[in-house]
């Protein structure tokens, strides 16, 4: 049976109350710590006070319950900034996809983009992690490029398989080879 809690968050003397549900107090504390990390707050506290749910509280509830399906895009119904889903809380703008990475404790060096191509999608299963903002290939794709290249697969075939231009493959191979030489 779930219990409702009020999570009180504070950042630079600005406060926010979020409704959360948890199986027990330990589960509530764990959720509170995850949310506090994602929102980069100074302090947080839990109480049994009733609080109205919000889109941010619903997002964190869905993340806690792993309530996302691999095959379904989840359109963000809130605000957008620079063609990316955002939410404003405690006087701060949070980009939703990086905030989700913080919540899930996923290392986010570089940037995160929706692999499905839907700019408003916030489904964590659709995230693609890029080293640079303008990257066309994610880390997994780069590993594929290097593996195919080392096996003698022609660049045009690799480009066709990854649905990018062959110049992207050439640049990737040259970039990775350069970094491999400079790090040894």
| Structural tokens at position 172 | 């990737």
Ranges of H-type helices in 79-154: 96-103, 139-150
Could you give the domains of the chain?
3-130 (no CATH), 139-183 (1.10.10)
Q: pLDDT per position in the chain (184 positions), as tens? A: 788 999 999 999 999 999 999 888 899 999 999 999 999 998 999 999 999 989 999 999 999 888 999 999 999 999 999 889 999 999 999 999 989 988 988 866 667 888 888 999 999 988 877 665 556 776 677 888 888 888 888 999 988 888 888 888 888 888 777 767 766 5
Confidence (pTM): 0.70
Residue 41: closest CA among 15, 60, 22? 15
Q: How far apart are the first and last CA of the chain?
A: 56
Look up tokens 């060096």; give the residue.
109
Q: Can you tell me whether residue 152 is helix, strand or coil? A: coil
Burial class (CB in 10 A: 0-12, 13-18, 19+), 43: exposed
β-sheet bridge partners, residue 47 = 6
Characterize 104-136 residue by residue with b for buried, 16 or more Cβ atoms within 10 angstroms of its Cβ, and e for exposed. eeeebeebbbbbbeeebbbbbebbbbbeeeebe
């Amino acid at each position: 049976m779930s219990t409702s809690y009020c999570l009180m968050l504070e950042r630079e003397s600005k406060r926010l109350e979020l409704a959360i549900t948890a199986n027990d107090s330990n589960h509530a504390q764990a959720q509170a710590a995850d949310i506090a990390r994602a929102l980069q707050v100074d302090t947080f506290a839990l109480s049994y006070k009733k609080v109205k749910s919000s889109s941010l509280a619903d997002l964190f509830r869905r993340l806690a319950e792993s309530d996302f399906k691999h095959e379904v895009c989840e359109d963000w119904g809130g605000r957008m900034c620079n063609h990316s889903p955002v939410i404003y809380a405690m006087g701060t703008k949070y980009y939703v996809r990086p905030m989700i990475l913080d919540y899930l404790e996923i290392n986010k060096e570089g940037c995160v983009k929706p692999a499905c191509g839907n700019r408003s999608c916030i489904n964590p299963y659709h995230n693609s992690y890029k080293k640079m903002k303008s990257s066309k290939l994610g880390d997994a794709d780069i590993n594929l490029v290097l593996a195919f290249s080392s096996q003698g697969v022609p660049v045009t075939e690799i480009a066709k398989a990854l649905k990018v231009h062959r110049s992207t493959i050439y640049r990737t191979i040259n970039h990775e080879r350069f970094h491999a030489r400079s790090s040894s």
